[in-house]
């Protein structure tokens, strides 16, 4: 009886070890898919930090000295072109106008008398000319006095929104003091800086990019509903940053955007001979991105790569790989450096195509 029991136990152990050996053998024969990078021309959408400026934005300053007698507007108010905004106490300037008018009247009388006497040959023709010059000077003084008086009434040069009012009613205003600023937000400009390589790509590959349209992402992360157009590029690069400024114009029918806001301009940038790999083939350690490169003997080794652009499910690689390198497509969390693996190569173009279809 004991022999039978021992024999059964031995058979059971053999079966267990046999199953274990088969399981280990099965685990050892895992086949990892590998692929390589694709070199191709493509378009990417890149974001640029931008400063928002109103199409028209000016400071309104006092042109004459005096007390601020009237403030006709409030902060944030929309005003029309020609609307009166402020009035500086005008009495002194009104007196100057009255004085100048009196001098003009006196000069006209003197000219009339000189003309009569010159016609009668009582005085020389030069006397008449002197009287004419005196009248012209008096009229010039009157015009100057009227101009100074007009400066005491400050009007909006264009329609827009009144900004902060730093001075209060009754304040003593000096010439050049800031009264407020005025913004026309019907159209806005987005200024952003572009690097030299991106500028060259933009200028030399206009056919690939299609048009000059750009999008705007607002400060809250939402997309601005209207598209913008790149209008101008500055004339020279900044020597310190190596960048050049672009200006895009956006319509702003609902006055949502205001002068001084920030955002991100999204611009289509053409890339020539970009090296593209799937994101799932990479892993990250301390903000560094790696892939597992597989050599001809099936041994894997980690390789640090530099990513220049991120696309949906894909990376554009600038350093660390070439188009002939083979790397693990899946299983990067399961292998270690110098481990030998069995692999099966997958067509890199088909791999990227499957990623694009998945994204669509």
Last residue of a domain, one of 272, 297, 316: 272
> Domain residues for 319?
30-43+274-359
Beta bridge partners of 161: 78, 183
User: What is the rounded average pLDDT of the residues 201-229?
Assistant: 86
User: What is the rounded average pLDDT of the residues 191-209?
Assistant: 83
- 246 falls within a domain: yes
- 317 falls within a domain: yes
pLDDT in tens, 14-64: 555 555 555 454 455 789 999 999 998 888 888 999 999 999 999 999 999
Residues 122 and 260 in one domain: no
Per the CB < 8 A criterion, the answer to whether 298 and 330 are in contact is no
- What does the alpha-carbon distance between residue 161 and residue 183 come to, in Å, rounded to a whole number? 5
- DSSP states of 193-227: EEEHHHHHHHHH-HHHH-SSEEEEEETTSPBPSS-
pLDDT in tens, 278-323: 999 999 998 899 999 999 999 999 999 999 888 888 999 999 999 9
- 83 falls within a domain: no
Q: Is the pLDDT of residue 154 over 50?
A: yes
At 330 the pLDDT is: 92
Give, in degrees to the nearest 5, the angle at Cα 163 between 158 and 169: 100
User: What is the rounded average pLDDT of the residues 231-251?
Assistant: 93
At 28 the pLDDT is: 55
CATH of residue 209: 2.40.30.170
At 2 the pLDDT is: 43
Of residues 131 and 1, which shows the higher confidence score?
A: 131
User: What is the rounded average pLDDT of the residues 212-239?
Assistant: 93
- 228 falls within a domain: yes
What is the percent of the chain with per-residue pLDDT over 90, rounded to a whole number?
56
Q: Residues 6 or more apart from 226 whose CB is under 8 A from it?
A: 250, 251, 252, 253
At 359 the pLDDT is: 43
Of residues 136 and 24, which shows the higher confidence score?
A: 136
Q: Is the pLDDT of residue 175 over 60?
A: yes
pLDDT in tens, 263-288: 999 988 778 888 999 999 999 998 89
pLDDT confidence bin for 205, thresholds 50/70/90: confident
Tell me what the pLDDT averaged over the chain comes to. 86
Residues 136 and 104 in one domain: yes
Residues 218 and 287 in one domain: no
Q: Is the pLDDT of residue 12 over 80?
A: no
At 13 the pLDDT is: 53
Last residue of a domain, one of 251, 272, 293: 272
At 150 the pLDDT is: 86
CATH of residue 342: 2.40.420.20
What is the percent of the chain with per-residue pLDDT over 70, rounded to a whole number?
89
For the four alpha carbons of 255, 256, 260 and 263, in that order, the dihedral sign comes to: negative
Residues 258 and 188 in one domain: yes
Q: How many domains does the chain have?
A: 3
What pTM value is reported for the model?
Answer: 0.66
Residues 279 and 354 in one domain: yes
SS3 of the chain: helix, strand, coil, percent, to 5: 30, 40, 30
Q: Is the pLDDT of residue 208 over 80?
A: no
Residues 50 and 192 in one domain: yes
CATH of residue 146: 1.10.287.470
At 49 the pLDDT is: 95
Q: Is the pLDDT of residue 91 over 70?
A: yes
- What does the alpha-carbon distance between residue 68 and residue 172 come to, in Å, rounded to a whole number? 6
Last residue of a domain, one of 249, 272, 295: 272
Q: Is the pLDDT of residue 109 over 60?
A: yes
Q: Is the pLDDT of residue 219 over 70?
A: yes
């Amino acid at each position: 009886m004991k022999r039978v029991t021992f024999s059964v136990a031995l058979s059971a152990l053999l079966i267990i070890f046999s199953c274990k050996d088969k399981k280990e053998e099965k685990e050892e024969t895992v086949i990892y898919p590998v692929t390589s990078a694709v070199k191709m021309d493509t378009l990417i959408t890149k974001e640029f930090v931008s400063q928002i400026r109103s199409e028209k934005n000016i400071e309104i300053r006092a042109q004459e000295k005096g007390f601020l007698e009237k403030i006709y507007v409030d902060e944030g108010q929309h005003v029309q072109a020609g609307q009166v905004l402020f009035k500086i106490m005008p009495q002194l300037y009104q007196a100057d106008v009255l004085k100048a008018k009196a001098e003009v009247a006196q000069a006209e009388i003197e000219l009339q008398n000189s003309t009569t006497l010159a016609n009668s040959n009582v005085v020389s023709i030069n006397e008449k000319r002197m009287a004419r010059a005196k009248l012209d000077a008096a009229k010039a003084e009157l015009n100057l006095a009227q101009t100074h008086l007009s400066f005491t009434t400050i009007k909006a040069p264009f329609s827009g929104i009144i900004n902060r009012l730093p001075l209060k009613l009754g304040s003593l205003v000096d010439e050049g003091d800031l009264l407020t600023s005025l913004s026309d937000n019907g159209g806005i400009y987005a200024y952003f800086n572009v690097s030299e390589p991106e500028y060259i790509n933009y200028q030399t590959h206009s056919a690939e990019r299609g048009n000059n349209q750009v999008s705007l992402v607002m400060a809250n992360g939402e997309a601005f509903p209207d598209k913008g157009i790149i209008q101008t590029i500055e004339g020279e690069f900044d020597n310190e940053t190596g960048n050049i400024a672009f200006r895009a114009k956006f319509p702003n029918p609902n006055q949502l955007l205001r002068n001084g806001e920030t955002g991100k301009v999204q611009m289509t940038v053409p890339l020539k001979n970009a090296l593209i790999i799937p994101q799932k083939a990479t892993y990250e350690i301390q903000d560094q991105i790696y892939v597992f490169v597989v050599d001809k003997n099936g041994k894997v080794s980690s390789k640090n790569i530099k990513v220049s652009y991120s696309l949906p499910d894909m990376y554009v690689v600038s350093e660390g790989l070439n188009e002939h390198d083979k790397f693990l497509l899946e299983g990067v969390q399961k292998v270690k450096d110098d481990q030998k693996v069995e692999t099966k190569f997958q067509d890199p173009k088909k791999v990227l195509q499957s990623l694009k279809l998945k994204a669509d």
